[in-house]
Amino acid sequence: MRYRQLTTGTLALGVVLLIDVLRVWLPGIITIFGQAASTPAELMGAFALGWFVLALGAPAVVRRVGARPVVVVAAAALALARLALTAAPGGRTQLWLATAGLLAGLVWLVGVAAGTDRPVPGLALGFAVNAALHAVWDTVDVVWWGTWAAWLFSSVAVLLFLLGTAQPVARAGGGAAGGDGGAQAGGGGVRAWLLAGPALLLAGMVALSPALARTGMSYLFAGDGVAGSPLFGLAPVPVAVAAFLFTASTRPPRGWGRAYGPVALLVGALLFAGDRGDLLVPAVLLAAVGLGACLALTDDADRPDGTAQTGPTGRETARDGTDATAARRGYAVAVGMLVFALGAVGYYSAYDLGYPNAAVPVVVAGLVAVVAFTAQPVVGWLPGPFPPIRAAAAVTALALLAPVVADEVPVAGNRDGPPERLTVVAYNIRMGFGLDGRFDLTGLTEVVQRQRPDVVLLSEVDRAWLLNGGHDTLDVMAERLGMPYVFGPAADSVWGDAVLSRWPMDDARSLPLPAVGAPTGAQALGVTLDLSDGVRVAVVSTHLQPPPGKGPVVQARAVTDFAIRYAAGRPLVVAGDLNTEPGDEAFGQFTAAGLVDALAAARPLATSPADDPREQIDHIFVSAALTPSDPVAPRSTASDHLPVAVTVALPPR
């Protein structure tokens, strides 16, 4: 069992470190390589896919050089890159460190695959540990902390991984007979390794995504197509982690009963693809159950005798065809990780290129389901539960901490009578990433807090995209600002706009705006502030998406029509990234509707790009009943836009 424990533990640690690197590398494609959308989406996709294609050459290197030296060198490179990223250097240094770590991680996986014919326990434990830690950390990766605790955790994880890699592991039994049996039975773990990449994609997007689970809970609390601040929003996470580990380590039923996992995974993927916020929680839970069960179907399915040849250190066996089997495993994991890249690029590039993407998670789930269901059923069961009961229980207990230790967004309450003034801030936060490519919620919240806001309107709010690291930027910002929120979905159910307020909000409504050829969806979110004593103010948050080569005139008209109807004579604030400048036709739609440019006294007030602002595209409009003063666009590079802020005086009662 020492072999099994070391194999599982080292593989799981490596998977955790690789996912950490991916959570830095993936958003770096957009924010650093993409340079704020100035790089064509096709070029960004080619850059992303290129490294996974390059890794297809790793099995040939392993076969020529040997698995052991490849694994040791690649593990060291992965560990060093992961540790260096803890410094969060930003810019191209960060991008190339993450790229080096990614390539090293892919080569390491290929080397490990060459010497490990039973990867499911380590893969499952790695996915589960990463999800549990991500939830406990409130979806903000330790890489971005910049504290001594981040260095301590990273150093311990890297050290344990390197020690596990360096530790020689004796053959676990079976000898040449075991090797022959694996080769004859169909490849000794080939199917399991093939599913590593697709399973990683589905785990990060749906099954084991803490941010998606919390976003789903926030829809259940609000309803009507909008999302609100949930209590114990991370509660589904320990359930998903426990279900995943249980099904991944449980003997699959015989006969057609084996189909429950593939069916659950497909249903979960379909619910996710349906893009309905109220279906996200069942999507997470079903996908977790199904993904674990599919991995279990491939666990040693190709090796009925259940023997294992080597551990993750890459000690090779070279008898009677096992070299060929090891090569097949290496190619299988390389191809599987290429599927991960194709799925991620295919899904998220749709928001730049404008094609339907709902089929991507369903197709990947279908691939996993087919590979798993057609695997040879296990004959007999291996002695000892895997993952070990104690390890699975510990990971589940860790996940249980998440809803307990996570800070909850406070509930707003009426103060002693309505205020005389409100300070309004509008900010395009670029999914939480600054101009240097670092995930910088601290910088975002600090520049907002300096304005002492009563109401904050946010654009480009990402709540679970794996492409951006799987963070829930809205909930974390709301906790730090101490302000409840309402979220309106735009591009999909986890990307859109939000309103945060120190005052109670009700009557939330979201209106999808006409696409008019723009690939990224847009919406208008209306909420009503209850300022007590019958004083109510309507607030509309939006982010206009202009069609190629044109202004967002159609969307601007739709927003003004919605806002005027929604306000129904009450004082009104409309704000956001409007992608139009004073004097443009789209800008004129707001003034023609009787709204006042609240920033007029400070014009010109450029807000983009943040380091050298030249464009006036972020705006605040108010109805004639409100009197604006003190307009400002405070400097900050925590996003690619500057925030705009204004104080509005309420009409006398």
CATH number at 348 reads: 1.20.1250
What percentage of the chain's residues is helix, strand, coil (to nearest 5)?
Answer: 55, 15, 35
Assess contact for 13 and 161: CB atoms under 8 A. Answer: yes
User: How much is the pLDDT for 413?
Assistant: 74
Same-domain status, 355 and 474: no
pLDDT for 253: 85
Judgement on whether residues 398 and 425 belong to the same structural domain of the protein: no
Structural domain boundaries enclosing 580: 421-649
- For the chain, how big is the Rg over CA atoms in Å? 26
Geometric angle at alpha carbon 467, from 543 and 364, rounded to 5°? 120
Q: Are the C-beta atoms of 484 and 478 separated by less than 8 Å?
A: yes
Q: Give me the sign of the Cα torsion angle 98, 103, 109, 112.
A: negative
Would residue 412 count as lying in a domain? no
Asked if 443 and 300 sit in the same domain, the reply is no
Shared domain check, 307 and 181: yes
Contact 212, 284 (CB under 8 A): yes
Q: Are 447 and 643 in contact (CB under 8 A)?
A: yes
Residue 413 in domain: no
Same domain, 495 and 551: yes
The answer to whether residue 411 is domain-embedded is no
Distances in Å between the Cα of 171 and the Cα atoms of 308, 317, 530, 615 are 8, 9, 69, 65
Spell out where 92-228 has E strands.
Answer: 227-228
User: Is residue 191 in a domain?
Assistant: yes
What single string gives the DSSP state of each residue in 262-283? HHHHHHHHHHHHTT-GGGHHHH
pTM confidence score:
0.93
Looking at the domain assignment, is residue 410 inside a domain? Answer: no
Domain count, the chain: 2
Do 425 and 395 lie in one domain? The reply is: no
- Same-domain status, 166 and 232: yes
**Is 176 contained in some domain?**
yes
Residues 382 and 456 in one domain: no
Which of 405, 436, 455 is where one domain is finished?
405
Q: Domain of 641: which CATH number?
A: 3.60.10.10
Instruction: Give the mean pLDDT per block of 10 residues along the chain (653 residues).
Output: 73 97 95 77 89 95 92 97 92 96 98 91 95 95 92 96 82 36 50 97 98 96 87 94 92 87 98 96 98 91 44 40 79 97 94 91 98 75 51 83 82 78 97 95 97 97 96 96 96 97 95 90 96 93 92 96 97 98 97 97 97 97 97 97 98 85
- Residues 247 and 309 reside in one and the same domain: yes
What is the per-residue pLDDT for 34? 83
Give the relative orientation of helices 91-115 and 2-28 as an angle to the nearest 10 degrees.
150
For residues 431 and 384, membership in a common domain is answered with: no
State residue 415's pLDDT score.
Answer: 65
**How wide is the angle at C-alpha 468 spanned by C-alphas 77 and 89, nearest 5°?**
50
- Where among 343, 378, 405 does a domain terminate? 405
State the pLDDT at residue 548: 82
Instruction: Supply the pLDDT for residue 170.
Output: 47
Looking at the fold, whether 333 and 475 belong to one and the same domain comes out as no
Q: Would you give the DSSP letter of residue 643? A: -
Dist CA 143 CA 154 (whole Å):
8
The Cα 243–Cα 604 span in angstroms is 56
Q: 415 in a domain, yes or no?
A: no
pLDDT recorded at residue 389: 64
Q: How far apart are the C-alpha atoms of 613 and 605, rounded to whole Å?
A: 9
Residue 452 falls inside a structural domain: yes
Q: Are the C-beta atoms of 339 and 198 separated by less than 8 Å?
A: yes
What's the pLDDT at 417?
77
**Among the three residues 355, 372, 405, which one is the final residue of a domain in this structure?**
405
> How many Cβ atoms sit within 10 Å of the Cβ of residue 319?
15
332 and 432 fall within a common domain: no
